[in-house]
Amino acid sequence: MAYEKELELALLAVQRAAILTKSVYSSHSKGTLTKTDSSPVTIGDFGAQALIIASIKSAFPNDEVVGEEDADDLRANPDLKNLVWDLVQQAKLSDPAAQDKIGGPIKSADDMLKALDGGASEGGNKGRIWALDPIDGTKGFLRGGQYAVCLALMVDGVPTVGVIGCPNLPVDDKAPLDSKIGTDADDKEGKGVLFGAVKGQGATSRALTDGKLEAPKTITMSPLPDVAQATFCESVEAGHSSHGDQADIARKLGITKASVRMDSQAKYCSIARGAGDLYLRLPTSKTYQEKIWDHAAGVVLVQEAGGEVTDAYGKQLNFGIGRTLKENKGIVAAPKAVHAKVIEVVKEVLSAKKD
């Protein structure tokens, strides 16, 4: 099967990075810090990015990576560098054969910095480029809710392999979705899911473990004969998408169920496995450009589970023009059969706002 090696590498690398993020949450008081550009980040972001890029570069030395982080903060702060270096050395898969497949440990702190800086690709529509978000949904991570380790391989600008690790989603694909799932208040049992998809080959989920890969289960979106019955997902953060516009769209579609708010690409995962139906992300800002690492993996998953993903105007997402989706505004993900109807209503709501 095409991309078999890439999928296995991505699954194992994401699994190891997820182990690292869990150790940051439990042993390092969540590891929060503020980057020199004042955006929030955790020590887990650096460690997870370094591990995943080192794995990619050892298996596929010529591939490029567009990663969210870089090593500038670690170079400027030796204590921080040492802290992340300790984390990276400890994060190992329990199964030696699985660990061997992802290139073993990084040899030195300097190698770790080099790996971290390996995410500086400018992207583009030629060749093989990976898009990596080591911790997507930092706010969710900090509140003990949903976050995701997200990795996609783009081939000639097209997201082709997508893997997402969600340490706080329930393993059961059909567990009811509500905004409290995965919060600290919940039982920790039965949590942690690893999703994978390859273009043209379907989408799967399996329990996220720390060893060998579990057997995959095929996932598909729920059949949604009547869009009024939909459950729609949106960001927790009102600054990331317009809760008001999304509520208007839902009302016009006849949807009466309350939205499910969760952080990160766990939203794409949840609709791909049929636990929810729609993901609406209407822009709050005229200037914000969505980042490719925030969507590439989720898009492959939803497409392969029977869905369609476009921007808010129904335009195809263009992943091949750099590190952002600068030609697109907002995101609408829905089962294929209802996508056009949803876009029609989204356009109505957006054009009414302009008047």
Ligand X SMILES: Nc1ncnc2c1ncn2[C@@H]1O[C@H](COP(=O)(O)O)[C@@H](O)[C@H]1OP(=O)(O)O
Active site amino acids: 45, 138
Closer residue to ligand X, CB minimum distance, 12 or 151: 151
Which one of Mg ion, ligand X, none interacts with residue 248, CB within 5 to 8 A by kind? none
Long-range contacts of 337-342 (CB under 8 A, 24+ apart): 337/224, 338/224, 338/227, 338/230, 338/278, 339/307, 339/308, 339/310, 340/314, 341/227, 341/253, 342/227, 342/249, 342/253, 342/278, 342/280
Residues 264-293 that bind ligand X (CB under 6 A): 264, 284-285, 288
Looking at the DSSP bridge assignments, the partners of residue 219 are 203
End-to-end CA distance of the chain: 52
Task: Give, as one character, the DSSP assignment of residue 3.
Answer: T
Q: In this complex, which beta carbon is closest to Mg ion, that of residue 57 or of residue 295?
A: 295
Among Mg ion, ligand X, none, partner that 239 touches (CB below 5 to 8 angstroms by kind)? ligand X
Asked whether 267 and 259 are in contact (CB, 8 A), the reply is no
Burial class (CB in 10 A: 0-12, 13-18, 19+), 87: buried
| 14-22, 118-126, 234-242, 247-255 -> range binding ligand X (CB under 6 A) | 234-242
Structure-token pair, residue 144:
């003990």
Residue 12 or 169: the one with the smaller Cβ distance to ligand X is 169
323 or 339: whose CB is closer to Mg ion? 323
Under rule CB under 5 A, residue 133 binds Mg ion: yes
Residues 6 or more apart from 311 whose CB is under 8 A from it?
317, 325, 328, 329, 330, 331, 332
- Contact (CB, 8 A) for 224 and 337: yes
| Residue 235 interacting with ligand X (CB under 6 A) | yes
Are the C-beta atoms of 156 and 320 separated by less than 8 Å? yes
Locate 73 and state its tokens: 């903060």
- Does residue number 72 form part of the binding site for ligand X (CB under 6 A)? no
What does 125 interact with, of Mg ion, ligand X, none (CB < 5 to 8 A by kind)?
none
Report what 284 binds from Mg ion, ligand X, none; CB cut-off 5-8 Å by kind.
ligand X
Nearer to Mg ion, 148 or 349 (CB): 148
Please list the residues that pair with 64 across neighbouring strands: 129
Closer residue to ligand X (CB): 102 or 349: 349
From residue 276 to residue 305, what is the string marking binding to Mg ion with x (rule CB under 5 A)?
------------------x-----------
Task: Tell me the closest approach of the beta carbon of residue 293 to ligand X, in angstroms.
Answer: 8
**How many residues touch ligand X (CB under 6 A)?**
13
Binder of Mg ion out of 6, 64, 136, 173 (CB under 5 A): 136
Choices 3-11, 13-21, 86-94, 231-239 (CB under 6 A): range interacting with ligand X: 231-239
Tell me how far, at minimum, the Cβ of 201 lies from Mg ion, in Å. 25
Q: Which does residue 240 bind out of ligand X, Mg ion, none, counting CB within 5 to 8 angstroms by kind?
A: ligand X
Select from ligand X, Mg ion, none the partner in contact with residue 304, using the beta carbon and a kind-dependent cut-off of 5 to 8 Å.
Answer: none
Burial, 188: exposed, middle or buried (Cβ in 10 Å; 0-12, 13-18, 19+)?
exposed
Under DSSP, is residue 97 helix (H, G, I), strand (E, B) or coil? helix
**Of the candidates 137, 162, 306, 307, which one interacts with ligand X according to CB under 6 A?**
137
The rounded distance, in Å, linking the Cα atoms of 46 and 48 is 6
Residue nearer to ligand X on the CB measure, 110 or 122: 122
Half-sphere exposure of 165 (CA within 13 A, CB side): 28
Binding mask 28-47 for ligand X (x = CB under 6 A): -----------x--------
Tell me if 195 sits within 8 A of 272, measured CB to CB.
yes
Residues in touch with ligand X (CB under 6 A): 39, 136-137, 235, 237, 239-240, 263-264, 284-285, 288, 294
In the complex, which residues of this chain contact Mg ion (CB under 5 A)? 133, 136, 294
